[in-house]
Amino acid sequence: MLIPQTSTSLADCLRLRRQKLANLIKFPVILWSGTNSPRNFPANPFPFRANSHFLYFAGLPLPNAAIRLEGGKLELFMDDPSPSSTLWHGEMPTRNEIAQKIGADVARPMTELESWIEDAVTLAVQDAATWTQQSQLLNRWVLPQSPPQGIDLDLAKAIASIRLTHDEAALTELRKAAAVTVEAHKVGMAATPQAKLEAEVRAAMEGVIIAHNMTTSYNSIVTVHGEVLHNEHYHHPLQPGDLLLADVGAETEMGWAGDVTRTWPVSGKFSSTQRDIYNVVLAAHDACIAKIQPGVEYEDIHLLAATVIAEGLVELGIFQGNPQYLVEMDAHALFFPHGIGHLLGLDVHDMEDLGDLAGYEEGRKRSDRFGLSYLRLNRPLRPGMLVTIEPGFYQVPAILNDANVRSKYQNVVNWQRLSEFADVRGIRLEDDVLVTAEGSEVLTAALPNDADTIENLVGR
């Protein structure tokens, strides 16, 4: 475990965060960091990822550790490195050194944790070894698959309310993630003319992230089949007429995420049909960002995107009818079947381990409307919230070839006209947007998104 040099104010930042928590929660809180998840055998694990709630209040990705928070005090529980771990993993900072760095009031070995669990609330970590330990120590099931229950639910609500808006320390990390994410996309565009496979563009992009000693914040999507929304294959050859959709984000060493999508022509030139649709998606993107300001409902941003897309498709002759009416009947979801975005922070879908607790304002539930059910965020915007804005256009065979869907939307789609856009399988444009007191700030603004500049970045 490396103690970063930039952490001089880490202790101060963490003190403010736990003071906020102490104002909301009177129970003692214990947060575990988690341990390695094994890959094909225990000694060959996936790279360690600390639990995000732990990271938020402990500041460092310490494996096999826990913190206890009560009344604004921070107690660190972790074991000093054993002699054999020093042999294999080198000299590590001691528990006391880490405690000092993060401003812990007390530091104890992990074995003492069981003496301090009375009345404690917690949140489940993802790895089985640790949630088993949580359940045993607390003598109740703490399962990552289930939403928090009972007194843990109060903790979840409190943490969600705190993590919903970002402090300066978080924003410093989020800007770092955004900058490296932007660079990865630029390098991906520049690498495309020399690449024969999707995998080669992915390699160029992830190479940037690895070179900055960061990791990807989610499994990258780099595909000429953008119509497959979660496409994690990279084996397709790049053909001159293809659009390449890249949804790739960097995560800093301290766990803060970037999340950006661009779509560019493999040849360096959009076809006229590709450019037409690209500009519809871009118009939706720009309209949404222009509308972002405190007090605006995120659902309205989503519906604005739907309306701008519907308007654009009417203009192109793909839809026929009134755009407002098309959105009311969810026709936009034929081509834009997902939500306009989500919260971004320590998780790429921030706090999604708590279900919709962070994404949805208390009392609100997911809609079962075709055009709204995948919306992950439904709250009024507040300064300090970081959201993605990611409109798209996709020709998903599973949607467009569905007999019920075709019959329902028979008269609003000009299927003949649509067939002229066959070279547009999937386009998405995604940026990371901070809500500010004045409106918004696009953290990923350094990455161009207009069609001409994108063509120039791809070059040839």
Residues that bind a second copy (CB under 8 A): 2, 37-47, 49, 51-52, 83, 86-91, 126-128, 144-145, 197, 199-200, 202-204, 206-213, 218-219, 225, 227-235, 255, 337, 346-349, 352-353, 396-399
Choose between 201 and 454: whose C-beta lies nearer to a second copy: 201
Choose between 238 and 304: whose C-beta lies nearer to a second copy: 238
The total number of residues written for the chain in this structure:
460
Exposure on the CB side of residue 98, measured as CA atoms within 13 A = 27
The CA distances from residue 314 to 99, 279, 310, 391, in Å, are 61, 13, 6, 17
Choose between 306 and 357: whose C-beta lies nearer to a second copy: 357
Q: Would you report the helix, strand and coil content of the chain in percent, each value rounded to 5?
A: 40, 15, 45
Instruction: Spell 148-166 as b/e; 16+ CB within 10 A means b.
Output: beeebeebbbbbbebbbeb
CB of 428 to a second copy, least distance (A): 14
Choose between 333 and 457: whose C-beta lies nearer to a second copy: 333
Q: For residue 374, what is the DSSP state? A: T
CB of 374 to a second copy, least distance (A): 10
Choose between 296 and 399: whose C-beta lies nearer to a second copy: 399
Choose between 200 and 328: whose C-beta lies nearer to a second copy: 200
Answer whether 421's CB lies under 8 Å from 318's CB.
Answer: yes
CB of 183 to a second copy, least distance (A): 12
CB of 203 to a second copy, least distance (A): 4
Choose between 47 and 295: whose C-beta lies nearer to a second copy: 47
CB of 215 to a second copy, least distance (A): 10
Choose between 280 and 357: whose C-beta lies nearer to a second copy: 357
CB of 274 to a second copy, least distance (A): 20
Choose between 203 and 296: whose C-beta lies nearer to a second copy: 203
CB of 322 to a second copy, least distance (A): 27
CB of 126 to a second copy, least distance (A): 4
- The 8 Å CB, 24+ separation contacts for 48-52 are 49/255, 50/255, 51/123, 51/125, 51/126, 52/255, 52/345, 52/346, 52/347, 52/351, 52/353
Choose between 43 and 437: whose C-beta lies nearer to a second copy: 43
The CA distances from residue 82 to 66, 78, 79, in Å, are 18, 12, 8
Choose between 160 and 287: whose C-beta lies nearer to a second copy: 160
CB of 58 to a second copy, least distance (A): 15
- Angstrom distance (rounded) from CA 434 to CA 385: 6
Q: In what order do the strands lie in the sheet with 29-32?
A: 29-32, 66-70, 73-77, 106-108
Answer whether 326's CB lies under 8 Å from 378's CB.
Answer: no
CB of 399 to a second copy, least distance (A): 7
- Angstrom distance (rounded) from CA 335 to CA 396: 7
- The 8 Å CB, 24+ separation contacts for 335-338 are 335/309, 335/393, 335/394, 335/395, 336/305, 336/306, 336/309, 336/371, 336/391, 336/392, 336/393, 336/394, 337/229, 337/370, 337/371, 337/374, 337/394, 337/396, 337/399, 338/229, 338/374, 338/392
Q: Residue written as tokens 């519906």?
A: 303
CB of 4 to a second copy, least distance (A): 9
Q: Residue written as tokens 């654009």?
A: 312
